[in-house]
Amino acid sequence: MNWDTAPASPRRATGAVRSAEGGPSWIGIGLLSAVLVLRLLYAWRVELMPEEAYYWNYAQHLDYGYLDHPPMVAWLIAAGWALLRHGELAVRLGALCCGTIAGYFTYRLSRELFDQPSAWMALLLGQTLPFFFLSGVLMTPDAPLVAAWAGALYFLQRALIAGRATAWYGAGLCLGLGLLSKYTIALLGVAALVFMLLDARSRRWLKRFEPYAAAALALALFSPVIVWNAHHEWASFAFQTSRRLALSAQFALPKLIGSALLLLTPTGLAAVVWLLFRRSLPDVSGEVRDVSGEVRDGLRAWRFIQVTTLLPLAVFVLFSLRREVKLDWTGAPWVAALPALGYGFAHAGAGAGLWIRRAWGPTLLMLVAFYGAALYDLTRGIPGVGYGRHAELVPIGWRQLGAKVHALAHEIAERSGREPLIVGMDRYAIASELAFYAPDRAESVSDTSSGNLFGQMGLMYERWFPPARQSGRDMLLVAWNRADLSQPALGDYAERLDPIGEGRLARDGELIRPFYYRLAHGYRARQPPGSSTAPAPRNQGLAALRSGESARSGESDSAQACEPSTITCSRTSR
């Protein structure tokens, strides 16, 4: 297949790609400025998401590999923490920097593939669309992944389209840093190889040493993760591959499409479908540019965008036909579509393209307005807007929960003379947030664990807090649901269980949600059936805990209710 030639158009266009110079409008500058200010406010004022708190715990256990992700997110948090030493902004500083880097490479990529108007539009979209807005403020592995993905695309374009041999080293550097962030970027390397095989002018690179040097550089940067896996029974690779393939079969394509609608908005997804499945570039009048000469580079640029966008997405589409998918999986691959979206925004002609272009303005304005309203609700609260049934999924109330639970732990320690280990009865969310929102974070990291001690899956907590090492300790169990603390199997893990207590989280007198706690005396480590240091199937431990294999001993059927502003409790009938 040769993409360098195309049938002549009945009407000769003015060029492969529009070369008009021009900057953004005042509205565009205003939107971009508003987005950047909102990002800074989110990073500074909004409580950590559970995932962010979990990765902050990564940084308190610095390593060159982890069970569920490579180490880049931990390293960036550690760097931000070393600089600022306190608060949410220290955790998210790396995400803000990564968002800036991603924007820079998106702009450069779009300008070199197309023109400056397209580049400004791509930059605006790459900072405003939901996935990119969030990845530039929330400190998750997606933040460095997006930056590395954008950088790799830029250098791959410089190598494959512009023919710059030295660009291969930049591509190798970015791919290696991306692999240290999230394994997903390997799909971009596969896409680049496929493009070289399909594009006649790019095949010459297969006989040059630069692409192989780039691959070696990427592998060298990634080698710490390989070494960590080799020392830990290949646990991380198994967690991300065989474990997911072992999940029960289900048809998840509708969920994948729904995630694309959320990540890109309906306008963005419609623009992607309209643009990327075209054979060649649409010009401003809606004509198809299929001419010779300079346009050939434009066609190659277009094919480059198509392959690097659609091939990684095709992998996730195929996976979704038989397995569960996650909301953010397709996020980073959309970086490759931003230049095309920018071009369509800047140069849409008649027909569907014009309708999509007209829809972009209201879409971006509504997004910025929504981000502002959400910021106000998360930090101050909008009257009449409740917290829903799953308030634990949003960054509200965690600081208050930390204060209340640690006050309870202090009260228990003063009364008994023994400092209890605080245990969040889920995989990582409660434990991670309680460790971060503690009066003494340095101490809380070693005194806060997860439900892995009671047969649940605990991800890295399984390695940080092996059950055998906690034997004999008193534990303050914390859960969102009373049922998680009333299971008969809990009695197998403790010499004695105190009654269940209830506390409440509130803001301005409005209930956010209740939480429950229970003191377990004299922890007894057990090896639940099928458990090991390797990752267990999701919720396997929790299912075993709820199976009621044996009855609790000595616990009361009474509970305690706490006022939101006090720690003193009174007994109530359960």
Closest CA to 297 of 201, 165, 156: 201
Q: Which pLDDT value is given to residue 229?
A: 96
Read off the amino acid at residue 459.
Answer: L
Q: Which pLDDT value is given to residue 247?
A: 73
Segment (H or E) for 437: none
Residue with tokens 């010499």: 495
399/344 same-domain check? no
Taken in order 7, 9, 14, 18, is the CA torsion positive or negative?
negative
Residue numbers of the domain that contains 458: 393-573
> Across residues 17-32, what is the average pLDDT?
67
Spatial distance between the Cα atoms of 491 and 478, rounded to a whole number of angstroms: 16
Is 444 within a domain? yes
Q: Which residues of 99-117 are buried (b: 16+ CB within 10 A; e: fewer)?
A: bebbbebbbbbbbbbbbbb
Show which of 374, 409, 430 is a domain's final residue. 374
Q: Which pLDDT value is given to residue 348?
A: 72
Q: Which two tokens stand for residue 234?
A: 């290949």
332/400 same-domain check? no
Judge contact between 247 and 324, C-beta under 8 A.
yes
Distances (CA, A) of 289 to 13, 286, 357: 6, 9, 19
Read off the amino acid at residue 199.
Answer: D
Q: Which pLDDT value is given to residue 81?
A: 96
Q: Which two tokens stand for residue 274?
A: 């309209």
Please write the tens of the pLDDT for every residue from 305-337. 999 999 999 999 999 998 888 888 899 999 999
What is the total count of domains within the chain? 2
Q: Which residue has the higher pLDDT, 48 or 23?
A: 48
Res 553 pLDDT > 60: no
329/403 same-domain check? no
Is 386 within a domain? no
Spatial distance between the Cα atoms of 451 and 479, rounded to a whole number of angstroms: 10
452/344 same-domain check? no
Helix, coil or strand: residue 479: strand
Please write the tens of the pLDDT for every residue from 131-167. 999 999 999 999 999 999 999 999 999 999 999 999 9
401/313 same-domain check? no
Is 569 within a domain? yes
Is 383 within a domain? no
Alpha helix locations (H) across 417-545?
Answer: 429-436, 441-444, 461-464, 540-545
153/302 same-domain check? yes
Q: Which pLDDT value is given to residue 14?
A: 30
Please write the tens of the pLDDT for every residue from 182-231. 999 999 999 999 999 999 999 999 999 999 999 999 999 999 999 999 99
| Strand 475-479 versus strand 510-523 pairing type | antiparallel
Q: Which pLDDT value is given to residue 280?
A: 67
Alpha helix locations (H) across 163-252?
Answer: 167-179, 186-198, 210-231, 235-240, 242-245
279/370 same-domain check? yes
Q: Give pTM, 2 decimals.
A: 0.85
Mean pLDDT of the chain: 85
Spatial distance between the Cα atoms of 470 and 359, rounded to a whole number of angstroms: 58
Would you tell me how many other CB atoms lie within 10 Å of the CB of residue 413? 14
Read off the amino acid at residue 274.
Answer: W
Q: Which two tokens stand for residue 395?
A: 């960054």
